[in-house]
Amino acid sequence: MKNLMRNLALLSFLTLLSGVANADQVKPQVTILHSSSTSNAGEAFSYPTGTPKLTMAQVIFPVGAQLPMHTHPAPVIVHVISGELTSERPSGDKVTYKAGDTFIEAPNSPHKVINSGKHPTIVYAVATGFEGMGKLTVPFK
């Protein structure tokens, strides 16, 4: 019985050890979704001053929903999870982003966005702001 317990303990240890060895061989796959020093409209941006604060938000746009003309007080990077979203500038220039697309909005750059697809649109947005910044979107008149 003593030998059986020792053999089971040794077998358990070796099994655990082989799992650790295999874990070293499995590596995560990293894909850069977007990286830029300008917005998708070609505007340069800088980070606001103050104590840095990153904010990540999920935004769900029902079919036809829109955010009227607005700006952001800090750079925002947006990734479209599903659906499609059209961004329009005051000039009338429009860009449509679909699932898998990522884009950057520069601070204080007016635009409006609408779910221009046939299904709800879900996006993840990360704002690189600062403590006390206030709202992530500011109405533009």
pLDDT per residue of the chain (141 residues) written in tens, 0 to 9:
555 555 455 556 666 666 655 556 899 988 998 899 999 889 988 888 889 999 999 999 999 999 999 999 999 999 999 999 999 999 999 999 999 999 999 999 999 999 999 999 999 999 999 999 999 999 998
> In this structure, are residues 47 and 75 in contact, taking their beta carbons and an 8 Å threshold?
yes
In sequence order, the β-bridge partners of residue 67 are: 113
Q: Which pLDDT score is estimated for 49? A: 85
Q: Rounded CA gap, 74 and 94, in Å? A: 21
Report pLDDT digits (tens) over 66-77.
Answer: 999 999 999 999
Q: Which pLDDT score is estimated for 107? A: 93
Q: Which pLDDT score is estimated for 1? A: 53
Q: Which pLDDT score is estimated for 141? A: 84
pTM: 0.77
Sheet strands side by side (includes 76-82): 52-61, 121-130, 76-82, 102-105
Q: What are the structural domains of the chain?
A: 52-139 (2.60.120.10)
The angle at the Cα of 109, spanning 105 to 114, to the nearest 5 degrees, equals: 65
Q: Which pLDDT score is estimated for 17? A: 61
Q: Which two tokens stand for residue 89?
A: 């500038």
Report pLDDT digits (tens) over 125-136.
Answer: 999 999 999 999
Q: Which pLDDT score is estimated for 25? A: 82
Q: Which pLDDT score is estimated for 20? A: 55
Of 123, 133, 111, 119, the closest CA to residue 54 belongs to: 133
Please give the biggest Cα pair distance in the chain.
84
